[in-house]
Structure 1
Amino acid sequence: MPIFRSALKMFLWSLLMVASAAACASEISIEWEIGNRFRMFDYISWHEAPHAGSSAALFEKMAPRKNENSASWLRRVLAAGGSPYGAERPGAWVEDDKALRPRYQDGFADAPPFFSIKARLVVAGSHPGMPADARCVWRMDGQVIATHACSGEIASDALPATGALLEVSTGDAVLARERLVPTVKIVLGLGDSYGAGEGAPDVPTTWHPALKDGDWLSLGRRDIDGFVKKAPVWLSQRCNRSFYSYQNMVALRIAADTPHSTVAFIHLACAGAEIVDGMLAPQRMVPGQGSQCDKRTTRDAVDPACDTPVSQLTAAVGALCKVGTQPLPDQDLDRIKEALLPLEHQRHQLAWMNELRACPAGQLRRPDLVLLSVGGNDIGFSGVIKWAILPSLHSDKFIPRLMQTRKVVSAVRRKGGVVCPSPGSPYCEEAEKTSAVERIGQLPLRFVALDTAFRKLLDADAGTVVLNTYPNPLQKVAGTMCGDKAKSNTRNAWYLMRIHIPEMAQQKHWQFNLTEGEAGIVNRDVIPRLTQTLARAASKLRWRVAAQERVMDGKGWCTGRYLDMLSPANIGQWQPYDDNVRMVRTGADSFLTQWPGNQDRSDGLLGAFHPNAQGYAAMADVVLYTLKK
């Protein structure tokens, strides 16, 4: 009897479906979503053709969930093992040091051959609903892909890139039809170290337990390098590009929020990049350079061992163009350069703009979004920080060796690229000629040129560009500056910056520190001017602005744990991705997180004054809020 009643119930329900299919068609629909929504994941964990199901599984693990902010997402991802971009699992980015053609693999900006999908029936309105044991047949372009409970969910890895008709039926009744049309959203990530992810490598440095205790500097560079068990790994070893970049986090969230699309995130930001030197011309002296680059006498010609072979804009056009690219016509190049002609600082860089390439008409895939972080290197902000941290002639008067000390200090500040905050700032005897404030005054000219290039080369609408301002890492709490005590120089957050100074030239009494007074000068003269200039330039160009300047309030460099330099014996305490209060790397943080060991690189301390993973997560939330507005 139970079997008879069940069969009768199914028979009557089928009759009802046939009789009311036309009337109720609008009340039954197909809800579907793509699983492999992040193109980068199509190239991870295998070396042959991408597989939609494997990519979808990785996306499900890594993607932000509904109502999950970036900080919560980060904690979950780190607990699950962290970045999927390790050296043993190369992605779509090809560094190609030998052929000197760094690029994304051909077809990366296209849809994959097949999509992994999930689909379910949705019943609405006055429809009588479906019994729990009702069976439905799912067909894709006429081919049966599943026979499943009508109330359940089906999965398939066979949706073609061109789309397909999905049909659901029971018996002779067609319950619903849906034309599935997957799309590709293209997000470009351009700019400098804040866009690349400097300070947060995909795989941080791992250290052997210290063989002996003592002062780091007394151990010597060879012993320090010997403590490194495994050097850090970056998605781009040349540019220090990372999964933990705020740009990558934003792209992942866009993928999570667009169920019928896959996101091709073309990440080209590079540590050290400027608007001309990096974005509009091949970047000189990238962070992944070797020691031989320090002896370089000229930067006019591109040196593949020290520079990027192509500019970010040329690399972007190469990834977006459906056919081969061609040299940018002279008249278009002159139009880009036109805005730069009044430049005074680094005007010689205009001669470097000789490799920009364009895509033939009608062959460019236009970007849906351009994430941009740039301007800080153009005004020499890292040099301003060196102005504050490096010892000055006025703070180091060791009388018995005064003349030698003066000579060495002066050489260190000159070679270190010290930039004076403003023309009237103290301790600027050894600084570069043009101050940061003077460089800020010419920054709008560079943005006009960049906007012209975006329109000429990328066909990018102004509304697709989102420019970041920079977080302020100097504030302890609102109105209070972080600062070392005056005359402090032992085991503080900046102590290891002296590692690049020859041991014979070092003075124990040198003050490598950042005092509250020095921070106050930078906070007064440089940071607000830079922030205002970025915002005004973007507004004039009709770009959107993600206001990041308050992101690190109360979470600046002097907050959180392990502020002083850990000794070699205590190195095991360092956890580079722990949820620390501070959102920015100190010199000590950078050393412990990305020291390259025996690799011939000079970027172990370049993570200082860059966000850690938590800082990048906070930046991502600001951009996402800006996009929603």
Structure 2
Amino acid sequence: MRALLLCAGVMATLPAWGTEITWSVENGFPVIRGTEAFKKLKAAWAPGTSAEQFLGTQDANLLRQLLPKTPETLWNPATGLYDKAAMFNRRHTIIAKASGTPPGADCVWFTDKKQYGKASPCADDFPITLNESVNIELSVKPIGGDEGTTNVFIRTYTILAFGDSFSSGESNPDRPAVGSDTALLKLVKGSGILRAGGYADGHFTQNADWWDTTCHRSLLSWQSMYALKMAINDPHRVVRFASFSCSGAEVYDGFFRAQINPPATDISDRVRVWPYRDGSNYRELISRIPGEEPEQVKLKDPTLNKSQLNAAIHLLCPDTPKPRGGHFNIRAQDTELGNRHYYGKVEFDKCQTRLQPVDEVLMSFGGNDVGFSGVVKYSLVPKEVYSSDWSDSSNWAKAAYGRYYDNGKQGWLNLLRTHLKVVSPKAGANAATHHLGNIYSDLALSLEKNLGVPRERVKAMLYPNPLQTPLPKTCDNRLDMGNVALTEQVVADSFYAPGFRDRAKFFKFYITNADAKITEDQFILPLRAIQETEIKANRWVKIDSQPAFKGRSLCAVSLECEADGVCSENDRFAWTKKNGEKDASLMAIDSFAKWNAYGIRGRSLRTGNDTFMSQARFDKKGNIIEDWANGSVHPDAKSHALIADSIPPWMCTI
């Protein structure tokens, strides 16, 4: 019925002959509070243009001024909830315009043949507040001119967005960090920039800032840009958009249950060690009391106050939902990949009245559930240490000491790989085989039963293959020099490990063709195949993100840079130049001030250096906050824009 009403509205908006009336909704994207911020965006984003085209007209400085700050939106970072009364306000102001009227004439406006307001100059925009989803006859009578009439039907469209870092917009803060003109000559491996003076030793002048810093959620995510493009390109529609995506989220640790250890724990009191985990925590393996249900494991880590599911229920429920009003236990609790927990009892909030209808769900889930980031680290993080000079000595004593020293270094490296949660491609693929079908099935059931979303209204993203072997010949050097910031993180993490600390500055992050091929064949391609099968099985709509990454591997550069050696600072990888380096892409940038987080470049994923310069944040004393590193090896804003542009909107049929 709702679809028929929407379609009827499309048919009813037909202009009449005579004086012409055009109209548009003043704020077609009400997640932005008020009208001025939306007007700025609408003026910058030309109607009919794509998200990629819009982004091509912007840079970091322009976006800092253009994108609304959090208080200018309906999102409340303190509660982790939206202002639902404002989101679902049924009355909207339209801006009506009359053309073909006598010069200098006044106009009188009518809604359903009743005069609205006083006469005003016909040349002026005329604001009128009307109800949504109702056919209204709007007419204007110019003094000394012909009457004009049209039908007004304010269409609405509600989009919910769920997911992980690929949905939240990780690595693309709404207001990226601002660098200073301080030269980078000293920023070599081992420089200690992460433990340097305030604002990272004077290299920054401003923090990065997000729509929701706690979850690293950005209006530059593909989900947000898809919804915003819809609102801008249809002046007669109100697009209600609410994203709950959070970097690091999994299906059972994020969607069904409140997420443990979100990216930033310093921003809001909604992140704390709660006595009770929203959505219910996983259970102890053995019941303390025979015959009774095992108790929930007590939280030890900072956790969000709401699961994505319960936050969405709160938004859609016209009243206050009943906490823990329902539960389900589809499958027995299970673990894999170390301490990753799947399934078990889930509690959800229950709405006592009918939920607001949802037209579309956008999401990406499953990557974190099967160790996607850990598999990427498998390729990036070295597996073996370089042998010392004494290891092959003919002197047995020196050789013994050399082997002892090498074993010690290898031990520290193994500990580091454990600390970084490295996952082998085969282990990740096994987890996908064992669990992805189940968690997608559980998601589909919950979206249908708990949120009332039909399966065909769900659009799920297929993760990309960003490696695209064979890699360029210079890929290892580009990644090594482009990840100095990550090496510095290793140096900082080994501060209290003297045996490893002295060697940490020689640490290299890069991917060989052999490792890239293993990761592709054993993990990424099987994961995509399983995703595709399960998306089809659940009758969801597939969003294939791969075209957004075509020809833009994690170490690619622009054609001008690769072929002609003309590399803009946005296309470069290095902070400092190696002696004798001839690769133009490894020429050093002059300073962080020259870095443009949203400039044009060849690569699709952020390097460690990119991420550090884009999303560095600092505490009150000016010290670096470590959540910057979450953005490494994540899509840039152009990739998000291309994904947004690839999604066909749901269209009604008559």
TM-score tier (shorter): 0.7 to 0.9
Compared CA separation, residues 174 and 457, structure 1 to 2 (3 A): farther
Please, which of 630, 634, 641 is the counterpart of residue 606 of structure 1? 630
1:351-500 equivalences under 5 Å are 351=344, 353-354=346-347, 356-362=348-354, 364-393=355-384, 395-398=385-388, 399=391, 400=402, 401-422=405-426, 434-475=427-468, 480-482=470-472, 492-500=481-489
Say if 2:307 is the partner of 1:306: no
Deviation at 1:25, TM superposition (A): 6.5
**Distance (whole Å) between structure 2 residues aligned to residue 107 and residue 381 of structure 1:** 38
Q: Is the 8 A contact 1:284 1:306 kept in 2?
A: yes
Match of 2:398 in 1: none
Deviation at 1:557, TM superposition (A): 1.3
**Distance (whole Å) between structure 2 residues aligned to residue 252 and residue 27 of structure 1:** 33
Match of 1:169 in 2: 141
Gaps of 5+ in 2: 1-14, 283-296, 392-401, 558-570, 577-587
**Distance (whole Å) between structure 2 residues aligned to residue 210 and residue 495 of structure 1:** 17
1:176-195 equivalences under 5 Å are 176-178=148-150, 180-195=152-167
Say if 2:206 is the partner of 1:230: yes
**Distance (whole Å) between structure 2 residues aligned to residue 470 and residue 189 of structure 1:** 16
**Distance (whole Å) between structure 1 residues aligned to residue 179 and residue 475 of structure 2:** 30
Q: Is the 8 A contact 2:179 2:591 kept in 1?
A: no
Tell me the amino acid that sits aligned with residue 350 of structure 2: A
Please, which of 55, 61, 69 is the counterpart of residue 50 of structure 2? 69
Match of 1:156 in 2: 127
TM-score by length of structure 1 reads 0.80
**Distance (whole Å) between structure 2 residues aligned to residue 174 and residue 588 of structure 1:** 64
**Distance (whole Å) between structure 2 residues aligned to residue 496 and residue 186 of structure 1:** 40
Deviation at 1:172, TM superposition (A): 9.7
Deviation at 1:495, TM superposition (A): 3.0
Deviation at 1:287, TM superposition (A): 0.8
Q: Is the 8 A contact 2:169 2:218 kept in 1?
A: yes
Gaps of 5+ in 1: 1-23, 44-49, 122-128, 423-433
Match of 2:598 in 1: 577
**Distance (whole Å) between structure 1 residues aligned to residue 154 and residue 60 of structure 2:** 32
Match of 1:124 in 2: none
| Greater CA drift, 508-517 or 546-555 | 508-517
Compared CA separation, residues 305 and 103, structure 1 to 2 (3 A): farther
Match of 2:291 in 1: none
Deviation at 1:64, TM superposition (A): 4.7
Match of 1:544 in 2: 541
Match of 1:253 in 2: 229
Q: Is the 8 A contact 1:184 1:262 kept in 2?
A: yes
Q: In percent, how many aligned pairs have the same letter?
A: 22
Deviation at 1:594, TM superposition (A): 1.3
Q: Is the 8 A contact 1:85 1:235 kept in 2?
A: no
Match of 1:60 in 2: 42
Say if 2:621 is the partner of 1:596: no
**Distance (whole Å) between structure 1 residues aligned to residue 632 and residue 445 of structure 2:** 33
**Distance (whole Å) between structure 1 residues aligned to residue 61 and residue 407 of structure 2:** 56
SS in 2 for 1:256: helix
SS in 2 for 1:396: coil
**Distance (whole Å) between structure 1 residues aligned to residue 361 and residue 75 of structure 2:** 18
Deviation at 1:110, TM superposition (A): 0.9
**Distance (whole Å) between structure 1 residues aligned to residue 300 and residue 30 of structure 2:** 29
Match of 1:523 in 2: 520
Q: Is the 8 A contact 2:74 2:87 kept in 1?
A: no
Q: Is the 8 A contact 1:343 1:442 kept in 2?
A: no
Deviations along 1:299-350, one digit per CA (max 9) or x if unpaired, are 86686972211111111111111111124554xx32xx31566776667444
| Greater CA drift, 268-277 or 551-560 | 551-560
Compared CA separation, residues 56 and 611, structure 1 to 2 (3 A): closer
SS in 2 for 1:585: coil
Match of 2:249 in 1: 273
SS in 1 for 2:629: coil
**Distance (whole Å) between structure 2 residues aligned to residue 378 and residue 480 of structure 1:** 28
Match of 1:94 in 2: 76
Compared CA separation, residues 442 and 79, structure 1 to 2 (3 A): closer
| Greater CA drift, 74-83 or 373-382 | 74-83
- State the aligned residue count: 559
Deviation at 1:281, TM superposition (A): 0.7
SS in 2 for 1:467: strand
Across the aligned residues of Structure 1 and Structure 2, the Cα RMSD in angstroms comes to 3.5
1:192-231 equivalences under 5 Å are 192-210=164-182, 213-214=185-186, 215-223=188-196, 225-227=200-202, 228-231=204-207
**Distance (whole Å) between structure 2 residues aligned to residue 595 and residue 193 of structure 1:** 17
SS in 2 for 1:185: strand
Q: Is the 8 A contact 1:546 1:626 kept in 2?
A: no
Q: Is the 8 A contact 1:86 1:233 kept in 2?
A: no
Deviation at 1:263, TM superposition (A): 1.3
Q: Is the 8 A contact 2:336 2:431 kept in 1?
A: no
**Distance (whole Å) between structure 2 residues aligned to residue 370 and residue 357 of structure 1:** 19
SS in 2 for 1:446: helix
Deviation at 1:267, TM superposition (A): 1.2
SS in 2 for 1:218: coil
Compared CA separation, residues 563 and 397, structure 1 to 2 (3 A): same
Q: Is the 8 A contact 2:335 2:342 kept in 1?
A: no
Please, which of 325, 338, 355 is the counterpart of residue 330 of structure 2? 338
**Distance (whole Å) between structure 2 residues aligned to residue 76 and residue 557 of structure 1:** 23
Deviation at 1:467, TM superposition (A): 0.7
TM-score by length of structure 2 reads 0.77
Deviation at 1:481, TM superposition (A): 2.7
Compared CA separation, residues 358 and 59, structure 1 to 2 (3 A): farther
SS in 2 for 1:169: strand
Deviation at 1:518, TM superposition (A): 1.0
SS in 2 for 1:603: helix
Match of 2:554 in 1: 557
Q: Is the 8 A contact 1:192 1:272 kept in 2?
A: yes
**Distance (whole Å) between structure 1 residues aligned to residue 319 and residue 374 of structure 2:** 42
Compared CA separation, residues 202 and 440, structure 1 to 2 (3 A): farther
**Distance (whole Å) between structure 2 residues aligned to residue 142 and residue 154 of structure 1:** 16
**Distance (whole Å) between structure 2 residues aligned to residue 159 and residue 581 of structure 1:** 47
Tell me the amino acid that sits aligned with residue 576 of structure 1: A
**Distance (whole Å) between structure 2 residues aligned to residue 339 and residue 545 of structure 1:** 26
Deviation at 1:572, TM superposition (A): 3.2
Compared CA separation, residues 56 and 220, structure 1 to 2 (3 A): closer
Deviation at 1:197, TM superposition (A): 0.5
Match of 1:138 in 2: 109
Deviation at 1:442, TM superposition (A): 1.9
